[in-house]
Amino acid sequence: NAGVTQTPKFQVLKTGQSMTLQCAQDMNHEYMSWYRQDPGMGLRLIHYSVGAGITDQGEVPNGYNVSRSTTEDFPLRLLSAAPSQTSVYFCASSYYTQGAGEKLFFGSGTQLSVL
Amino acid sequence: AQKVTQAQTEISVVEKEDVTLDCVYETRDTTYYLFWYKQPPSGELVFLIRRNSFDEQNEISGRYSWNFQKSTSSFNFTITASQVVDSAVYFCAIRGDNQGGKLIFGQGTELSVKP
């Protein structure tokens, strides 16, 4: 049972480069999200999706694009990397149960450095 | 919009002490869900508890307990007889009604338990 798989685990970019962080889940969850974690800032929501073909912006969406063509995959694209995007990125998938609410399953994270 | 405040940035205790981590939230939704996650030094995010807004019963799980008070918009987390393995960053989060995939996290509290 793979759960939520994020790749790569580490990445170094130069300013202006583009790249895609991959996220895949095999639990058939309807919801998927991307967060970034910075010291003293907690986890901040970048983008999220409530199903294939549906995405929306979170708290800090600028500089990032997402798409959700399948239920399983939710890639995060950095169009032109900036040093301010140096962070640890977490992908999550989740499902909702009436009354109990939602439970997020997180990937293991991607450490991204932009020089 | 939802907001979570964890005013305690860092807490240091000696093993076997009890410690309470504070969480205050803001929301205009009548239905919402509250969460606690643990992030040990290894970096993964571990789910601890979720609670919906209609269930104000306190919860106890081993050495962990949670006190949910709607009157003060708080969802505090207490560790009894702390252990070194409890050292981690703890995050409180909220999800509003019909906000699938959109958890909003607090800044986190770093707990250090010394032997």
CA distances from B5 to A22, B11, B62, B95, B103 (A): 30, 15, 26, 14, 14
pLDDT at B14 over 90: yes
Res B59: pLDDT = 83
Q: CB atoms < 10 A from the CB of B10, how many?
A: 10
B interface with A, Cβ–Cβ below 8 Å: 6, 9, 33, 35, 37, 43-45, 47, 50-52, 91, 93, 95, 100-108
Out of A46-50, A57-61, B97-101, pick the least confident.
B97-101
Q: What is the DSSP letter of B41?
A: T
pLDDT at A1 over 80: no
pLDDT tens-digit readout, A59-114: 999 999 999 999 999 999 999 999 999 999 999 999 887 766 778 899 999 999 99
Backbone angles phi, psi at B91, to 5 degrees: -115, 135
pLDDT digits (tens, 9 = 90+) for A8-24: 999 999 999 999 999 99
Q: Which of B43, B44, B95 is closest, CB to CB, to A101?
A: B95
Q: Which of A30, A32, A42 sits opposite B91 (nearest CB)?
A: A42
Tokens representing A103 are 């439970």
Q: How far is CA B69 from CA A63, B3, B52, B78, in A?
A: 38, 16, 12, 14
Q: Residue A82 region, left (φ>0) first, then alpha (ψ -120 to 50), else beta?
A: beta
Are A103 and B50 in contact (CB < 8 Å)?
Answer: yes
pLDDT level of residue B72 (50, 70, 90 thresholds): very high
B100 and A106 within 8 Å at the Cβ level: the answer is no
Picking from A25, A19, A15, the residue whose alpha carbon sits closest to that of residue A105 is A25
